[in-house]
């Protein structure tokens, strides 16, 4: 059996790393600028966490410290998507965004480490950008066979309507993502993954799991969610509950805001603000509250016992929401890992 070893750039709290480990890939190291990710990353994974700005990481350090006895070197990562995301970035002049350069740092480390296999996961909109096309051309000119596709995560069993761009590159031949595992009739629904969790009142914290907590709704938002129907809109409310923006023509298109999700289908895309009832269709299907942090993590396919709260830091619901929403879904990471291992096995037959 060939010795495969992976390094995870922009690792966050370890969604991609955990998926790769579940697939059977040895992840040596995760690198991230946000030190608050370290606890969750190391508490749930075998890999070590390296707190660093990616621009300060040298390829020689990776090769000499982690890849000096590796048959197959795998470099993976998900550069923060704010420059490319339609959800999080309204700046039309995106080239001015300071995080735009992170893809170039990924390119630099590929040049310096010369991995055998590369995987990058990001928002679908990135595939339309010049910087992505230049990245693909760089990989091809460096000897990689490159494939990429926009993945609809329910096709792979994720209970979330998330769409992600997955790029795969290999020096041994074309590496493609495994075929979808679920048909539309087999999609995983919300109830099957979070329906077992204890019921909570608005603003309550589960005594057995501090991550299973919900934000306190204002009296008017509590009344709004009581009048909300699964997959409904604010049009279901009494007129006195409408916001001013709902009455303007420009507000007519934002009908999922302050919405309830449905038990019987995958959840909407989990964003960094999923715990906030007013930022999307993040109302619980039955209970009069927003999603809890644990529910968001499970919908991102983290195991139900994944440790996220760092006991050595003050609790911050916004920080943990950011960690969870920004993560690569574990199940997608596992599919990527299985695809890589299948490719390696095929190339070495």
For the question of residue 37 being annotated catalytic, the response is no
Catalytic residue, candidates 78, 81, 153, 245: 81
Question: Which bin fits 173, alpha (ψ -120 to 50), beta or left (φ > 0)?
Answer: left
Residue given tokens 């096309």 in the structure block: 133
Task: Give, in order, the Cα–Cα distances in Å from 38 to each of 29, 47, 312.
Answer: 11, 11, 11
Q: Report the distance separating Cα 191 and Cα 257, nearest Å.
A: 21
Q: Which residues contact 245 (CB under 8 A, 6 or more apart)?
A: 251, 254
Taking the C-alpha atoms of residue 20 and residue 234, their distance in angstroms, rounded to an integer, is: 41
Residue 184 CB neighbours (<10 A): 8
Helix/strand/coil for 308: coil
Contact between 257 and 279 (Cβ < 8 Å): yes
The DSSP output letter for 327 is S
Catalytic residue list? 81
């Amino acid at each position: 059996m060939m010795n495969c070893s992976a390094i995870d750039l922009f690792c966050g709290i370890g969604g991609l790393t955990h998926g790769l480990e579940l697939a059977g890939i040895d992840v040596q190291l995760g690198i991230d600028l946000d030190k608050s990710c370290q606890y969750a990353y190391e508490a749930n994974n075998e890999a070590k966490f390296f707190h660093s700005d990616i621009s300060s990481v040298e390829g020689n350090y990776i090769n000499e410290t982690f890849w000096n006895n590796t048959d197959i070197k795998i470099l993976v990562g998900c550069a923060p998507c704010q420059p490319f995301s339609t959800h999080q970035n309204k700046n039309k002049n995106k080239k001015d965004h300071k995080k735009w350069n992170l893809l170039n740092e990924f390119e630099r480390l590929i040049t310096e480490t010369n991995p055998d296999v590369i995987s990058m996961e990001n928002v679908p909109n990135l595939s339309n950008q010049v910087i992505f096309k230049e990245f693909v051309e760089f990989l091809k000119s460096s000897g990689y066979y490159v494939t990429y596709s926009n993945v609809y995560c329910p096709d792979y069993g994720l209970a979330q309507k998330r769409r992600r761009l997955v790029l795969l590159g290999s020096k041994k031949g074309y590496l493609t993502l495994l075929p979808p595992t679920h048909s539309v009739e087999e999609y995983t629904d919300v109830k099957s993954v979070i329906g077992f969790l204890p019921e909570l009142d608005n603003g309550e914290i589960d005594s057995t799991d501090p991550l299973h907590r919900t934000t306190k709704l204002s009296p008017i938002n509590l009344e709004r969610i009581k009048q909300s129907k699964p997959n409904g809109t604010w049009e279901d409310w009494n007129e006195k509950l409408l916001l001013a923006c709902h009455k303007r023509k420009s507000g007519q298109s934002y009908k999922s805001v302050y919405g309830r999700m449905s038990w019987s289908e995958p959840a909407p895309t989990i964003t960094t603000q999923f715990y906030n009832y007013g930022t999307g269709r993040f109302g619980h299907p039955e209970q009069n509250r927003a999603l809890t942090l644990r529910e968001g993590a499970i919908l991102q396919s983290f195991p139900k016992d994944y440790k996220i709260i760092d006991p050595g830091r003050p609790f911050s619901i916004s920080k943990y929401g950011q960690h969870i929403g920004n993560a690569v879904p574990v199940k997608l990471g596992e599919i990527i890992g299985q695809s890589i291992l299948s490719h390696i096995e095929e190339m070495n037959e």
